[in-house]
Structure 1
């Protein structure tokens, strides 16, 4: 029998009817000879509802209690799905993250998995049970409930697949695979049959919402075959591959375009240009568990420099507050901020063996009168920061320019 982990997102289990449909699907797979571990998210809208309840109580809830609260959404789903499987004759077992011993660090709302004890899962599978596990959550060394961040159920699924050495991990969602870009922005976007893990990791980290970044990291680290499929429409989905670097010569120039609307830019101006200044600015931001993305430091003039960087828009107020507290200490002139920016990125392993990609991207944006504020590159991606109101035009123009339809 093949050993499979399947994950179902919120829309896939968003109603009793959808949960029953998932149960029918699982029984058919089980009857066909698959040992199944199922990871589920909260029913669609449930996590937002719980966050809304907390907001009605306080605007500064305890991170520990927020994790206790939002983790209950998945607990509802695992119980309902197990009940649906019981009515169909399978002695399914549901487990919360704590019950199946998904150990994490103690960073609430952004915890990272450190270890999984797979003994219970393997024991149940050997008894013919379908195992249903709550995604998005675990426990720290003190037994506190932790959550893994938005999209954390993907990471749970891949981590379990690695722990039990599954033959494949399947992520079922409301789309039927990975597309060249978001079809809601570019209707001509095309589903990819395959994509390399390296490209998928870049796309996920740059804003593609289909998979959480850490789930792709896990899959790549442990070489877990990972497939993205639709829970609503039958089809092959998109397989994430682990091909050798040598295939880059034959790879498409660009595989996809990712974007993020929820970006903010901060500039601390007129700071003394001496060794360690970047650390003194960015260290406190890192300590506050705020992820810094694109960073630019200007050339020194009269012993002073400017440091510009981007952060998620939700972290913008906290980041501005931190910088305000540093201005006098650093001897900086002032701080400027802009929370109406966006990032658009092109990704493709084919960039390694082709020149002129950046020039083509910049010319395409220039022709549409789109100003580039910041640039970040790697071997297989180019990202630019632009004004948010130009984002859709940028994505559509780049998709056409690189013939991705």
Structure 2
């Protein structure tokens, strides 16, 4: 069977999409429905909360990088065997890069899949006007179907009455009213929410969110509004496996690896083995490739620098096997990493680059990488879609040799990344 879907979206970032989505996923699951999550756009952190709420992997439905057919394949993969997919949008409903047939907006993803929108609207500083915002979003040209709205951060019973009066004047149903509540919060830091895997009280926090959602929302009406009963083949691997047996770093410092890529590697027949650099584990013997995902090595630089088994094992592995690092993994493959306090920590010294988190600059956006070398998972001369999202800066190093870069619009950027022998890496996160 293939479950139907909904996409939770908002007028802007910061309206509470993630906590509403996670609470809604758990609340619906507690009614006996089989629920899965998904995320529109490039994001590593929110899907971790979806997985914790539903017990199932949450795939990214990136309309810009994957394109319409890739989105449908990924959506079919996550919807298979469940009753309902509750997906989360990115930024505002109509925000995102759109070029020709590629669009990264939440609205475009919902339209591709036939999934109605549940609007999350922040009532802070407004009352009846919240309904006017919902009305405008529903009437925007080429708007996807709007199933209804959940109004968040309602201050009082009087405030609720005023909001309900506004919705009585429009055609968008009011499906939930969520009071301002400390239980509906999650801590953040420089790349977004603190990762789900880092929270020891996560199960209790999600249950508390679900309690709030169940008390304030019409769960049956929300579930009944789902749509999009299409089927599609399982999404093919978006990049080739870098080896037959792949050692993948996974812990609080190395957590940014898209589930659709992992699933694609498994479907292609690769064997995946996990290890923890923070636990001073080296890449396991018997593997022929090592993948260091992005994450937060800048928060653990001193510990990583002192983990000799990890660093020595990584250097030994690179003598015979391919090693690739994305963003944080690239920083660890370099010569040194400067932490937020300006202290330099020696890293693996496998690539000629120095990076710093003390000298911060936001790098954000879609990227197209045309690879200069055959790396196993990509061939020289081919182009991959992906993104950058980091605050660290390269402070020293040899000229970039890994890929010629462009932004999402096709405008040329400086070459990026490095490759030496079996080792490669860059700030670029590959999606497809």
TM-score normalised by L of structure 2: 0.29
Select the structure that is richer in helix: 1
